[in-house]
Structures are given as structure tokens and as C-alpha cells.
A = this chain, B = another copy of it.
Amino acid sequence: MTLLRLCTLAGSLALTAPALAQQGTKADAATLAKIKDEGLNRSKVMETAFYLTDVCGPRLAGSEGLARANEWTKKQLTDWGLTKANIEPWGTFGRGWDIDKSYVAMTVPYYHTLIGAPKAWTPGTNGLLKKSVVVVKATTEAELDQYKGQLRDKIVLLSVANAPKPSFEPDARRHSDEELKKMADFKPEAPTTPRPVDAEAEKRMADRKALMAVRTKLADMLVSEGAAAVLSSRGGSDGTFFTSNGAPYAADAKPVLPELEMAPEDQLRLIRLAEAGIPVQLELETRTRFQTQDLKGYNVVAEIPGTDKKLKSEVVMLGGHLDSWHAATGATDNAAGCAIMMEAVRILKATGVQPRRTIRIALWGEEEQGLHGSRGYVKNHFADPATMQLLPEHEKLAAYFNLDNGAGKIRGIYAQGNEAVAPIFQDWLKPFADMGATTVTLRNTGGTDHLSFDAVGLPGFQFIQDPLDYGTRTHHTNMDTYERLPADDLKQASVVVASFVYQAAMRDAKLPRKPLPAAKPEGRM
């Protein structure tokens, strides 16, 4: 309350850390300076990122890579002096899946190796296939029917929605001052305001649903018609392609064909040749491996114990998801976030901070399939959003901070509609104004694990990050690699996060919360 009032009064005055210390937060300027010094001058964040990406490898939910990352992070956090490091199951996920071989090339009309990767959870080809191709373009069931009898023993080529072309826009960018000001000025709509109907958006949604239905029917038809395999492409350019799953991860999922996601340049060449009536032959071999012994999903957690007798039972959490897609090492999605969160707790340990509250890091599993790790954790520890029956730990959580919007430095934080917390964050950002982190917005942001906390009325927040090339080049692609991590951005983010966590651990009161949401029996967030 003191801080809140102070902020309202202080307006745009730069509030120094010593002043903060006198106003009810026990964070002191000397510690903040130590955090910056450790994080900027003795950073280990790139070393951590190297281990998460290159050494552990792709970290698909349920894969061996994710298991390696779980083990490595647990050990590393322990080595840094954190306690209670644990690979904690959150519930049942589904089958594990790994790639043991992936090779595809055109052999007729001439030899050309193709760039692609198996879609997650698709089966292998059971040896080297040598087959001709057929192009299937269907947006309706009637169009699908025309392919009956033509697919047996063929490699099916599905169309590419958008062909690559010379790009006149840069891949990477940073938020402009104007964009940040717009975010800062954002006022949430009154919840009673009826939203105008967006007819175009509704039509797009309906079209997409119809297309998905055709795609599902196609998948069945490919199996029943005896096609050999599928090559598809969700887009990308320049050798970059987008990846996703080609089959459910559920242990009882029905069979599908081997399917690869392809660089659109290669896919389009095959399609153009086939459509011009030129015979095309491919050779294709994939070996994939399912793991059904352990269907559980896991999160990695570890703690820096609190030191204040009264407050140490309260917890400040920070986290990001450790799982990734499978065709790259998930550097920006989300080794970056995990490396930064790990670096933040390393910095806090290295600077000898004595936090009043307990600090707990969580590296989530199975985020990419629907925030499963964090949702499971929240349900096990805090509350099930379907019932909103609160567990005892619910009142102990002071805050949760998440990082999962790529590798760009922190420019501020989404207050997620929590008006009471905004001025606190504005204060906490002040020491980082010269490092580009200035903006608190009341806007919600979605798509990642803070939502699991927000859904049960806990104060969960995602930072605003510079977009860099996350949306254009790395997010869910085969090019989400270590190169995409700018060291200076990761170092900056590490010290901002360490400082926020420290502030939240030292503050007299937990962070203010929004009113508890109603139970959502259907489970939607």
C-alpha cells in the first residue's frame, strides 16, 4: 500500500533503490548493483543456453532430449547451491517420440536432397521407400473424393499455402518507442462492453474449421487408400520450415502415415514438376521411436530457501518451459527463457542474497501441447480452475514471473490487467531504464505458462520482450538454434528478472491479486 501510494505520487520521478528500500520493500541498492554486476560481468547465461540447446538437443514433450534437459537442469541448479531440486511429475502426458533417421531426396528427374523433418509423433517408413508422387489439393470433401483410387503406394504431396519470395522486410526488429508508449497507454475495456462482431474473423475461423475437417478426413483416406507417405509444408523460407505434430501424442492415437514437413522451396519444386506432368520419384527413409513405458509429464523445480521466519513459507516463482519442438534445439522457444531464469537464480545465489521469501524456479514440460506442465503444477499445488477449490499453497504464492517470448531483451512487463500491481512494477523497472526496460502495460498477453497461474487468480506475469526474429524465423521452425540468442539480450533479461524476483521476495506484502475468477468446469482458460 505504501509503495502503491508513493508511485501514484511519484509520477515520472526516477525513484532510486535506496528510496525504495525505505518504502516497505526491503530490497537495497547495494544488492541490486551486485545483481547487475554479476549478471553483466560474470554471466553464465550463454553457457547454460549452449547446454540446453546443443548438448541436450531438441526437447520435444516426452522425448529423450527433454529427459536429458530435465536431468541436466536438476544437476546444474543443485551445483549452483539451490535446494530441493526435483524432477516432479505433473500428471499423464502421453507417448514419448524420438527421431533416429530422416532422409528424403528426389531421384527422378534428377537427384536433389530435400530439406525436411518428420512431423512429431508420426511413424517411420520401415526402410527406404522409392516411390513416385501424387499432388493432393483439396479444400472440400467432394474434391477429396476425386483422389480415390489414385493414392496407393504413392508419396502424397500436400500443397503449400504461401510460396516464399524475395523479402523486403527484415526478419528481426525491436520494439519502437511508439509501440512501447501504446502498450503503456493501454486501458482495459470495461468487461461489460459488448465486443463488436468481427465478421471477417468469424469467417476465417469457420473456413479454418472446415479445412481442418477435410484434413482429418484426408488423413484417414490416405491410410485406407494405401498411400505410402506424406510430404507437407506449413511454410517458411530460405531453408527454414515450420514444424508441428502430425499425430496425437495420446497412447491410444489411431495410426497415421509417415509424414514429413518440408522446406517450401523443395515442396514447391516437387509440386510444380508433378503438376507439369513430369515424372517425379523420391527416396525416403525415416525411423522414429515411440516410448510408452512412462506416459507421465514432468517439471523441474528447485529453490533458494527464504530466510525470514514469517515469510519463508511464502514463495516467489519464476519459470519458462523447457520443452521445444523437434526439428531444432528450441533456442528461442524456449531455451532462452529457461537459461535466463536459471541465470537469474544463479545470480541471486552468487551475490549471496538472503531473500525473505523462498524463491522457486520451475522449468515446465509439455508447454507446446497446451501448457500442460504448468497447468498440472498449478492444479497439484494451488487450485483446479475447473472447481476453484483452493489448496493451502494458493495463499502462499507471492508472484510468478514467466519468460517465453523469444530471445529479445526485456522492455517491460505485462501486468495482465492487474491495476494494483502496475505501479509496483513501474518502480521495479526504474533501475533498468538505461537498459531499455521501461514499460508496464495493463494488456493481457497469452500463449504461455503465466496463464496457468492467472487462471486460478494467482499473480502470474510475462515480460515484454523485443520481438527480434521470433515471429518470422525461429518460432516453431528448424532454425530455432543457438545462433539466434544475442548474448547481450540474455544478460539484460537475466538481471531484470533476478531483480524482480529479489524485489518480490523482499517486499513486505505479496503482490496484489486480481479478484478470484469463477470456476470454469469446461477447463478453458
Contact = CB atoms under 8 A, between A and B. Distances in A.
Interface in A89-117: 98-103, 105, 109-113, 115, 117
A201 to B, nearest CB: 29
A65 interface: yes
Interface in A149-202: 163-173
Interface stretch (A8-16, A272-280, A503-511): A272-280
A111 B103 contact: no
A360 interface: no
Contacts of A400: none
**This protein's copies in its complex:** 2
A468 interface: yes
A486 interface: yes
A64 B168 CA distance: 35
B276 A50 contact: yes
Given A103-B103, A239-B115, A54 B272 contact: yes
A53 to B, nearest CB: 8
A360 B254 CA distance: 63
A166 B172 CA distance: 6
Contacts of A356: none
A379 interface: no
Contacts of A483: 163-165, 237, 264-265, 268
Contacts of A65: 110
A374 interface: no
A36 interface: no
A278 B51 CA distance: 11
A405 interface: no
A57 B167 contact: no
Interface of A: 50, 54-55, 57-58, 64-65, 68, 98-103, 105, 109-113, 115, 117, 163-173, 237-241, 263-265, 268-269, 272-273, 276, 278, 329, 407, 468-469, 473, 478-479, 481-484, 486
Given A166-B171, A238-B240, 17 more contacts: A50-B276, A100-B111, A101-B111, A166-B172, A166-B473, A166-B484, A167-B170, A168-B173, A169-B170, A170-B170, A171-B238, A238-B473, A239-B241, A264-B483, A265-B481, A265-B483, A269-B329
Smallest CB-CB A-B distances: 8 pairs: A239-B239, A166-B172, A57-B110, A238-B238, A166-B469, A166-B468, A265-B481, A102-B113
23 contacts: A54-B273, A55-B278, A57-B112, A65-B110, A68-B110, A98-B111, A101-B111, A102-B105, A102-B113, A115-B115, A166-B407, A166-B484, A167-B171, A167-B172, A168-B170, A168-B171, A168-B172, A168-B173, A171-B238, A238-B238, A239-B240, A239-B479, A264-B483
